[in-house]
Structures are given as structure tokens and as C-alpha cells.
Structure 1
Amino acid sequence: MNKILLYNPKSAVAKHRIPNSILNIAASVEGKYDWVVVDGNCETNPLEKIESYLRTGEFGYLGFTVMPGPQLREAIPLSKTIKQKYPYTTMIWGGYFPSSQPKAVLNSGFVDFIINGPGDNAFPRLIDALEKHEPYEFIKNLIYKADRKITKTIKEDLLDQDSLPPLPYDKLGTFYPIDKYLGKTYLGKRTMAYHSSIGCPFTCSFCAVVPIYEARWKAKSAKTVYKDVKYIKDRWGADAIEFHDNNFFVSEKRTVEFAKLIEPENMSWWGMARIDTMDKFSDASLTQIRKAGCKIIFFGAESGNDDILEQLDKGGTQTGEQIIRFAERLKQFDIIPEYSFVLGTPAATPEKVQAQIDFEINFIKNIKAVNPRTEIVLYTYTPVPTEGSELYKQVLEQGFEYPQSLEDWMSPAWESFDLRKNPLTPWLKPEMIDKIRNFETVLNGVYPTVTDIRLNDLKRKSIKLLSTLRYKANLYKYPYEIKLLQRYWKYRQPEIQGF
């Protein structure tokens, strides 16, 4: 009864990636407890697969990683069904959603424990305590319910990442062929996913990472990252990398060292960064990064309005002027900047909310004017429960509240909320959301994302011709002709579907 089943709920229709978070937990118990992986992305009937293990009577523990959105939608009914049919099992959730919404999760009655942050120590220690019938109150990074009260244990210091055991890729391959996880993307024919660091040293009040890591960041050394990547390249033929770090480029020294190591491997790669951090990188560093295969970098631009950046508690030194200047700077290095913007932050009046949206639309067009290759990703502001932040206080004061029941999160409206497309916030009116979405449609028509590899030159030219007049004339209402083509061609939006 002490075997462990680790479940990765379905998160992608296609091009799913190596389930790194689940593998981290598997590595933490490797050699001590038997474990299996069930990947919802690779199963047509994940419940039946899970039950095939549980029916043996050998599995007493289930670990689910749960991100908001599609994973949550699948995790809730599966967890409920499993707990009803196999009440002796211990259900443990990890990931951003349970850490940010512990009350709804634990009050559901079918989740027993939450791993609040990294589980490299917390998960195996919890299993040890439960197996030995010992107290678990002093295990760090736990949230649980006892005597009708929800208890959070203290946070653990981030571990040295090089000291962690290697991920068990080969054993994962006994459950699912690793080839399934290496998809064709804009970056390459066999693209792998990898985490080289955890956390972020900043405290943006709109970011779900902040409450979990609390402005902390720890990274593997450049040599360790190179060693891991090269292993997957040599073993399974990976030719490109998506670095899923919250902030890959924190250290210029580490980034350049990795770039020099990976350069001979001829791999393309992508990662996430801050504009004000990378703007401090020397020209020589940026040249080396591009030479080593970095083709595109995701940046949280968020807003061109300095007052909004302050409201979002963006921190650092980022300004609207810098956002435009840096996009222009990257042209000389042939690196594509992928800028995300957050529209629809709280304001005192509807007129001020609308003014912010209009400002950002014009600002984005200015960025496109100086560097047309800049990829633009649009989000509507969705509140994150960052306790103590001024922005979250504003959110609560304006009447926003989360669902109290875990199952209420399964509604289509709240799933759209999780994907930051439909905010359900009192200060955003339907016509404002329509303007954001319509502008996005026109923008993507004039500048189809380079990451959609299914769009050929003819399709790109056709949709651009159809959209340019609207874009130049600021005519964004009712772009049905563009939406029709995008739907017919199954246009991909990177912020929802990845590369």
C-alpha cells in the first residue's frame, strides 16, 4: 500500500512536453518508494489507467500537479471519483492552483494535503511520516486541514538545485516513449521542455509565482543545465529547448556560460526574461546568446504606462520608454522579443479603465512600428491573491471574489479566467473586453505569430492584406472576416497553446 501514483492532468491538445514537475517528485522518492506516472496528455481514458493501478491494492498515495485552466478542469472530477471509490488513498496536490486556493481545495473533502511550493523534501518526508504514523506538523511547505482548521507550515529555503537528484527520464520512458514529448515547433523538429531554475527575485503583484516563492530564485549551474540537455539530445535526438523557468535570464554570467557550452550542439532555444534585466546585458553577451541558438525571448512588458507598472508593482527599473527602446535594440541581434501586456487593471472609474486600454493599444502599435517582428501577447488582468499587496486590496474593494467551492472553478467562465482571457472583474465592462479581443484579432491578422508553423506564406499574406486596412484606420469592431480565416486555418495563440 505504499506505492505512489503521480498524475499529470491533461494540459495540451497537442505538443505536450515532458512533465518536469511530476518527474521532480518522482526523483525525490526514487529508490525509496515504488512509483508510476500517468500522463493525462498521453491517455484517452486517464481514470481507467489510474484505476488499473489502484485496483491492485498496492498504491496508497496519489500526487497530482495542478495548474489553473485545463489541468484543474480534469483534476477535480478525477480526484473526487478516486476518493469516493478508493477512500483509503491519500490525495496530495501540488502546483500553483492549490497553493493559491488552499481553502477551496481542502474544503472539497477529497484532497488531503497540498505541497506549497517545491516538493523535493516535503513530499518524501510527508510519505515517511504517514507510513510511520509520525507527526507531519513540522514538515515545511505543507498545507492541510486538521480540526476543521487549515494549517500552513513554514516555507522551506530554496534548495541548491545542483544537489537535487537527476530527473528519471529513462524510467519515464518505460511508461511513455520520450519521443512523444519532443514535438515539432517553430524552434525545431524535436523540441524538449526543461526547467533550469525555480522562482523569481521580483514581487510583481499580478504574478502567481510571487506568493509561492516570495522573491526567491535558485538555479542550476550552466554546466548542469548543459549536461542534462545534452543527455536528452544524445539519447533521444532533441534539437530545440523551451526553458520553462519563470525567469531564465536572471544571471548574465550563467546565461553566457550556458550559451558558450550549448553553441556547438546547434540547438535552438527560448526562455523568459525581464526587459530591465536583459537591457543591462552587454552587446557581446546578446551576440553570444543569439550565436548559441536563442531565437526568441518572452518578456513581461505588461504596460507602457509607468503609473500602471507601479500599480502592478513591477519592481526593478522598467519603463515604457525602455520597453520600446529594447525592442528596437534586439533587432541588431536577430532575437525576436515576445512581449506580453496586461490590459484592464483596476481604476477609479470606467473611463479610466477604458483610457488605459486605449493607451496600451496605441503603445503596442508604436512597438510594432520600431520592430515589426516583436511578438505581442495580450492578457486581461486577472487578480492573484497576493496577500498584503496594494493591488489586491484594490481588487477586493471593487467587489471581486473567487469561487468558494472547488467545483465552481470548473465552469467555462472561470476556466477562461484562469487562461486570462475572460477576467470576470467588476471594473471591466463587456464592451471593453470586446475591444481588447477585437484589437487582438486584427493585430494577429496583420502580424501572424511566427511561432505558428502551419501558416504558409500565402496564408500570411492573405490574412495580412485583409487586416491591414482595419489596423491603419483603427477599425477593430466586428472583425468577423479575420476571425473566420483564423478559425478555418486553426490559428494558434502561443499564450494558450504554446509553440
Structure 2
Amino acid sequence: MGMVDVLSHTLPTNLGYIAAYAMREGFDLEVWDYELEHFLAVKFLERVRDVQPAVIGFSCMTPTIVNGHHIATLVKRHFPHVITVVGGAHSSALPERTLEEFPFFDLVVNQEGEETFLEICRIVRDGDPVRGLVGTTWRDGKMIIREQSRPFIKDLDAIPFPARELYHMVGKQSGHSSRGFSNKLKSTEIFTSRGCPYKCTFCAITATFERTLRLRSPGNVFAEIEDVQKRFDIDHFVIADDTFGLEKGRLETLCEGFRSLGVKSWNCDTRVDCVTPEILRLMKESGCAKVAFGIETGSPRVVALNKKKIDLERAREAVHWAKEAGIKHIEGNFIIGSHPDETPKDLELTAKMIRELPLTFVSISVIVPYPGTPNYEIMMERGHIYSTDWSEYVMFGKAPGWRTEHFSPDDLLRYQKRLNRAFYLNPDYMLHMLLSIRSFSELGYYLKAGKAFIKWVGGGDVMSEGADKMDISDEGFYPAFVSR
């Protein structure tokens, strides 16, 4: 955890899917979310002792893989018979290296997890060793073996809805589900698709889904919305697709369904070439309260280097169309150093574009060379990556342990703060946002986020208290006794 008053805090919906897939066959699962709860080693070990799991799975992105392994180390120290499984974008990109670096993970689930994790549960239940399983990387003595990839699930409608009952604690998260939507709202995430066919050099999605795109049927999406509305009384849906609306005609069908189902509010991320004025009006009418566009740069040269395949004039049009449609929040996502060859001149074009667009929010991050991305390969080849501490691979909150061709680590951080400061501390912007507030709850949200932001741009530490300080001491844990 960290910077939760500035960044989004999402639910473990990926784990909800994996859990539901195994629960359908009678397996008992629990989801423990240590982005929601502060991790205390003794309390964790007591839970493990009381539950007595046969398998513990860890979902780790690049900056959380180190802490994930800290927890796996505790498990193996006290419960060596428990199988520890790790999955996620990082281990999928570097499966062999993950097992080399982190000896207390027993095996990696490569890429999509539902089928493979279910098969692991079956094997362990039957008392057999987990060896040679398709879709895994595992240890055979001192050897590390990567098995062939498991085919992706073709029919997403065949996957049960996420087991939200295992993790859905409305109002317990800090920060926001998406900028502009406090986690005090009754919100949840929903995926209508998996994957993205584009080849952006900075994006790590290829590690998990390669360059595939699979879509759920609109009817299946609507059935999940109805189920969630009945069980959780949801006020806001976060459409968590990597890119919403890629198939022509599908976005319109989904919007019609959202409207028919009485969806109160929803937001999404999409491409500027997926929307038209008509589509954006339909989105607004169906409850869309925010749309975020991935633009990344204001330089046509860098767009081409990124292989983003968008036209910047279309980006300008899309933002203005969203404004004209009356969508409350419009966000532009930008990256400092989105390609390693970006220059100061390119960055000035980005700053100019941000100034000119009628955006409600911006996300201006620093490039992170995530394993599995072309940028990682380029920067490794050039010797521009200095740090192998994966916990430092974050877009906000820490000075990067890498450089690009034209920017030092300090340059990257300085430009990030400069562009964020120019946008959010603009007096006209602050007055506009103040006048848009409609409740004390909303006022409290913006005041808290604003305070954290000002502290960050001023050089202060805005990590949540204890966020980087997991309590991994097992002193005081007694395996045979319940601690009172």
C-alpha cells in the first residue's frame, strides 16, 4: 500500500475469479487482502494455523513481489507442507527468474490463473505432487522447469462471477476506486473483456494475456450487474477492462443495457479512437460519470515510437466530445519518458497538450520498465536500469532506479512533479473543482487528496502510515497455541 489518497485502490477481483472457479468444484477458499488490511506477521500466522490451508496463492505485481515473498517465507518457515503459488504480471513475465530470486515460492502460475490453479487444487487434494503441470513453472531439485503455456479460456461466459463475498467490504478501502470516486462509495469492479490487441511499448499486459482480446457476451455482463445490484446495493461500477469499447457496436449495446438496468454511475478507460460524439452521449445517458483516455504523450514522434497507433488530433476531439456530452469527469493519462527516446522537446509538447485540453483529472506518471515490456528490453540493453529492487518499480512516490536516453532519474521525477503541479495547482482549476463539489463527503475526499498531493509535490512522504513497513516479525507466534 502507499499513496492511497492520491492513487486508485482496487479490489482483488482477479482473485475473486480464481476463487469462484475453484469453489464451483467444491474447494474452500478465502481471500486475504493486504492492501486493505495492514499486515501483521503473528496475526497472519495465527490465521494460517487456524484455517490450515493446503495451498496459499499470492497475486503479485512487480512492486509487490518482494512483500509477497516475505509472506511466503513466513509460511514456509512455520508450515513447510503448505504449497505456495505465485501469479500475476511479474511472475508471468519472468517465471524462471522469479523462482530463482524467491526460493519460498514453490511454483508460478503463468498467465491466466483459473484453470491452472483449479488443477493445482485437484492435485493437492488427491495427495499427488505438483509436477509437470501445463501453465506452471516449478522446481525439480535445483532445476527450474517452465512447462508449455496453457491455452486461454475461450468462452469467458463460462467463468463464474467473482466470489465477491470473500473480499467485498464496502467503505473499508482508503483513497478512491478511480479519481473522483471515493472508496466510501458502494462501488465494485467489473470486467467485460480480457486483454488488448495493441502493442504499446510501455504496457505489461502482454505478460498475462499476450496480444489477445476476448469479450464476454453483453447478456453475461448484464447478469453479473443484476447479481451485484441485488447482493451489494452498488452505487458505482468501475469498468476495469484494459480498454473498454474495442469492438464496434458492443459499447453501444452495453450502454443500452446499463441504462435498462438502472446503473446509477460507472466509469471506464478507453482509447480515443473508440468513441464518437454519439457514443459519448450514449455513455453519459447510461450513467457514465467518468471516461479516461490513454494519451501518454503530446508528441506525434513519441506516439509512433510507442506503437500506440492513435492520432493526437483525434485525442483532442475525443476529450472535447466527452466534455460536450456532459460526462462529469474526463481524465487524460500521460507518462514522463513513455518511450526511452523521448526528449525535452517532446515533453514540452505533452505539457502544451495538457494545458489546452478541458480535462478534470490527469494521471502523469513516470515510465516504469516493467518486465515483459519492450521498454524493459530497450532500457536493459542500453544499461539504463540501475535497480533490481522490484519494490521500487512504482509510477508515483519514489525516485526511479532507472533513466532514459535524455532524462536522469531526478529529471523524470522533477518533470512529473512539474507537470502535475502546473495542472492541479492552477487557480482556475482549483476554483472550478471547488464549485463542482455537491456534498460534505465529496469535500472531505478532495481535501484529503489535495493535502496528500501538495505534500508529495513539495517533496514530502505521502506513503500511508505503515505502508512500506510490513510487520514481518514472527516473534511471539506459537504454532500449537492460540494467541490471546
Shorter-chain TM range is: 0.7 to 0.9
After the TM superposition, which residues 199-214 of structure 1 pair with which residues of structure 2 at under 5 Å, given as runs? Answer: 199-214=195-210
Amino acid at match of 1:355: K
Aligned to 1:157: 152
Kept after mapping to 1: 8 A contact 2:306/2:339: no
User: Structure 1 residues 431, 392: CA separation in 2 closer, same or farther (over 3 Å shift)?
Assistant: closer
Figure out how many residues of one structure are paired with residues of the other and give that number. Answer: 440
**Identity percentage of aligned residues:** 18
> Which of these residues, 261, 270, 273, is aligned with residue 270 of structure 2?
273
**1:257-316 deviation per Cα after TM superposition (whole angstroms, max 9, x unaligned):** 2211221414110011111222xx4x433222110001211111011222211211213x
1:300–1:341 CA contact under 8 A, matched in 2: yes
Separation (CA, whole Å) in 2 of partners of 1:403 and 1:145:
26
Distance of aligned partners of 1:486 and 1:304 in 2 relative to their CA distance in 1, 3 Å threshold: closer
Q: 2:362 aligns with which of 373, 376, 380?
A: 376
Larger mean Cα displacement after TM superposition, 126-135 or 84-93: 126-135
Distance 1:293 1:228 in 2: 17
Letter in 2 for 1:325: E
Q: Shift in Å at residue 394 of structure 1? A: 3.2
Question: Which letter maps to 1:62?
Answer: I
AA at the equivalent of 2:273: D
Paired AA for residue 353 in structure 1: T
The whole-number CA distance in structure 2 between the counterparts of 1:435 and 1:57 is 48
List aligned pairs for 1:344-493, cutoff 5 A.
344-345=337-338, 353-367=343-357, 371=358, 373-386=359-372, 389=374, 391-401=375-385, 408-410=389-391, 414-416=392-394, 422=400, 424-427=402-405, 428-429=407-408, 430-446=410-426, 447=429, 456=443, 483=454
Equivalent AA in structure 2 for residue 360 of structure 1: T
2:20 to 8, 23, 27: 27
Q: Which amino acid in structure 1 is aligned with residue 366 of structure 2?
A: T
Q: Mean alpha-carbon deviation: is it higher for 289-298 or for 12-21?
A: 12-21
Counterpart position of 1:495 = none
CA RMSD of aligned residues (A): 3.7
After TM superposition, give the deviation of residue 57 of structure 1 in Å.
7.7
Distance 2:39 2:372 in 1: 36
1:137 is aligned, of 132, 139, 148, to 132
**Contact map agreement 2:368 2:394 (CA 8 A) in 1:** no
Query: What's the TM-score once normalised by structure 2's chain length?
Result: 0.79
Return closer, same or farther for 1:47/1:12 CA change in 2, 3 Å cut-off: farther
After superposition, residues 84-99 of structure 1 pair within 5 angstroms as 84-99=77-92
Matches of 2:334 and 2:26, distance apart in 1: 45
Paired amino acid for 1:394: I
Q: CA deviation at 1:184?
A: 7.7
Deviations 1:134-158 (A, max 9, x none): 674252x322333423414224134
One-letter amino acid matched to 1:380: V
Greater fraction of residues in helix:
1
User: Normalised by the size of structure 1, how large is the TM-score?
Assistant: 0.77
CA distance 1:361–1:28, change in 2 (3 Å): same
Give, in whole Å, the separation in 2 of the partners of 1:432 and 1:85: 43
- Alpha-carbon distance between aligned partners in 1 of 2:402 and 2:136, rounded to the nearest angstrom: 30
Q: Which runs of 5+ in 2 are unaligned?
A: 464-484
What residue in structure 1 maps to residue 480 of structure 2?
Answer: none
* CA deviation after TM superposition for structure 1 residue 240, in Å: 0.7
CA contact 2:196–2:212 (8 Å) conserved in 1: yes
The superposition leaves residues 24-62 of structure 1 with CA deviations (integer Å, 9 ceiling, x where unpaired) of: 111121133222222224434453444234324832210
Higher relative contact order (CA 8 A, sep 6+): 2
**Distance apart, 1:402 and its partner CA:** 6.9
User: In the alignment, is the contact (CA less than 8 A) between 2:199 and 2:307 conserved in 1?
Assistant: yes
Tell me if the contact between 2:198 and 2:211 (Cα under 8 Å) persists in the aligned partners: yes
Displacement of 1:347 after TM fit? 5.5
Gaps of 5+ in 1: 1-9, 464-479, 493-499
Matched, 1:236 2:232: yes
Alignment of 1:123-202 (within 5 A): 123-130=117-124, 131-133=126-128, 136-139=131-134, 141-146=135-140, 147-170=142-165, 172=166, 177=169, 180=172, 186-187=180-181, 189-202=185-198
Task: Write the deviation string for residues 195-251 of structure 1: whole angstroms up to 9, x where unpaired.
Answer: 222111212121010232121111222222222122222222111111111112212
Question: 1:396 and 1:275 mapped to 2: Cα distance?
Answer: 31
Matched residue SS, 1:440: helix
